[in-house]
Amino acid sequence: MKKRILTLITGLFAAATALVQAQVNDDFEIVFTDDMGKLEYIELPEAMTKEVDSLLALYHSRTYLEMDTLCESNDVNPEYSDEVYIDRLQRMPTVMEMPYNRIVRQFIDRYCSRLRRTVSVMLGRTNFYMPIFEQALESYNLPLELKYLPVIESSLNPTAVSRAGATGLWQFMLATGKQYGLRVNSLVDDRRDPIRASYAAAQYLRDLYKIFGDWTLVIAAYNCGPENVNRAIRRAGGSMDYWTIYPYLPSETRGYVPAFIAANYVMTYYCEHNICPMITHLPAHTDTVEVSRDVNLQQIADVCGTDLGMLRELNPQYRRDIVNGSSEPSLIRMPIPVINRFIELEDSVYAYKASTLLSKRSLVSVNERVASTSSENVSRSQSSRYGRSRGSSASRSSSRYSKGSSSRSSNGSSSRSSKGSSSRYGKNSKQSSSKSSGKRSSRRRR
């Protein structure tokens, strides 16, 4: 009876553990059985593991997006046959191929089921960012479907930071960002600038295409780096087909291209899956003003009577609200009415709370009187301390040597002490000399 109870408890514990493990896997990876009957684990792009709350908390989302209460969606993801997905993907106006397979289907299902609310928010945010992406891609004559890369990279969050440190809408790593002219220092991170980062990403994608000549491989290299893609190509016998080198790619990259295809699909056919975009209220038209002096966004907000959160959202590259215009001329994006007020009140803006909001001091004075007085005290204390120690050591040495000199001319305990010391050092010296001579003679014998 006890054995049965123990077996039952063990079984329940194992089932609970398996359920928790399945939940963990389901949150961060897709698990399915391949053609050989083995379980395959495909890591989800990090943006697909984020909660929708992080997007809703952004200023633009809170200020300019709202749910469409008139949307008659029943919030149910309908089932379609493989043929329907194949037909829809082929009808999309793209230069890049958008093939269908069961891995792509897994990612489509993920977007259309668990990530439905995230897709709804991203559809609303596309009104802010897609014109920027399209302009940058068009300037380098790249396929416009690449504009959906930030969907799987950052979920259209300009301040997103990955576990590896990739930052911004396009998730640039530090070294790659600097390679393409993006400034990164304590005050500025251009990887967060939607415009600068978009043009840098377009240039990077163009350079990757010069290497591989295949857009699917370019997407894979954008995720894991060209070195990993070249390694996979060599291991696959030189094949330049993504689906052939697929098993030799890192786990996340194996899911990256299917996720990209799924992102293009869901951003095109969201209505067919009962996903309602959030309604977008576009902000006032914006432009940039160039400054050549340091200024804090708080100064502009207070003097020009505008919202600090709005300025931060329009200028996410300024990490601490400080625009370091004195280092190099810098651009600040603002609504047109705010720019007009800034130009009228520019001197007042720079002067407003400058000592507190721009806390770096350019010149400081040293309290030399206190410093000299304290140094004199230190000198006196050091000299007195070292003077006493030197005197005591000198007196000790003089007394020692005077005792030694008296031992040479007199008898008694001092002479015994002298004999003891001489015999002690003498023994050692003799032993060492005899040992060394013995070693020399033994060497000669060898």
Task: Please enumerate in sequence order all residues whose Cβ is within 8 A of that of 28, keeping only pairs 6 or more positions apart, or say none.
Answer: 43, 44, 49
Is the pLDDT score of 9 beyond 50? no
Give 75's DSSP letter.
-
- In this structure, the number of other CB atoms found within 10 A of the CB of residue 236 comes to 16
Is the pLDDT score of 92 beyond 80? yes
**Which residue has 């389901």 as its token pair?**
26
Is the pLDDT score of 422 beyond 90? no
- What is the pLDDT of the chain when averaged over all its residues? 82
Is the pLDDT score of 257 beyond 90? yes
Region of 156 please: left (phi>0), alpha (psi -120 to 50) or beta. Answer: left
What are 190-204's pLDDT values in tens digits?
Answer: 999 999 999 999 999
CA distances from 364 to 353, 361, 367, 387 (A): 19, 7, 10, 37
Is the pLDDT score of 379 beyond 50? yes
What are 217-226's pLDDT values in tens digits?
Answer: 999 999 999 9
- In this structure, the number of other CB atoms found within 10 A of the CB of residue 6 comes to 10
Instruction: Find the DSSP H helices in 213-280.
Output: 215-224, 226-235, 242-245, 251-268
* 283 — pLDDT class (breaks 50, 70, 90): confident
The b-or-e profile of 45-76 (16+ CB within 10 A means b, else e) is bbbbebebebbeebbbbeebbeeeeeeeeeee
What are 392-419's pLDDT values in tens digits?
Answer: 444 444 444 444 444 444 444 444 444 4
Burial class (CB in 10 A: 0-12, 13-18, 19+), 24: exposed
Four-residue CA torsion sign, 245, 246, 251, 255: positive
Mean pLDDT throughout 58-65? 89
What span, in angstroms and rounded, lies between the C-alpha atoms of 26 and 44?
A: 9
* 368 is a catalytic site residue: no
Is the pLDDT score of 436 beyond 60? no
What are 160-219's pLDDT values in tens digits?
Answer: 999 999 999 999 999 999 999 999 999 999 999 999 999 999 999 999 999 999 999 999
Is the pLDDT score of 153 beyond 70? yes
**Rounded to 10 degrees, what is the CA torsion of 135, 170, 240, 139?**
20
What span, in angstroms and rounded, lies between the C-alpha atoms of 61 and 327?
A: 33
Four-residue CA torsion sign, 283, 284, 287, 290: negative
Four-residue CA torsion sign, 415, 419, 422, 425: negative
63 residue type, one letter: T
> Which residue of the set 43, 134, 145, 153 is catalytic?
153
Beta pairing partners, 65:
280
Nearest to 108 by CA among 153, 77, 139, 130: 77
CB 77 within 8 A of CB 116: yes
What are 315-351's pLDDT values in tens digits?
Answer: 999 999 999 999 999 999 999 999 999 999 999 999 9
pLDDT score for 410: 42
In this structure, which long-range contacts are made by residues 132-141, counting pairs with CB atoms below 8 Å and at least 24 apart in sequence? Answer: 132/194, 132/195, 132/198, 133/198, 135/198, 136/195, 136/198, 136/199, 136/201, 136/202, 137/198, 137/202, 137/205, 139/199, 139/202, 140/202, 140/203, 140/205, 140/206
- CA atoms within a 13 Å half-sphere pointing along the CA-CB vector of 426: 6
Mean pLDDT throughout 425-440? 43
What span, in angstroms and rounded, lies between the C-alpha atoms of 295 and 357?
A: 8
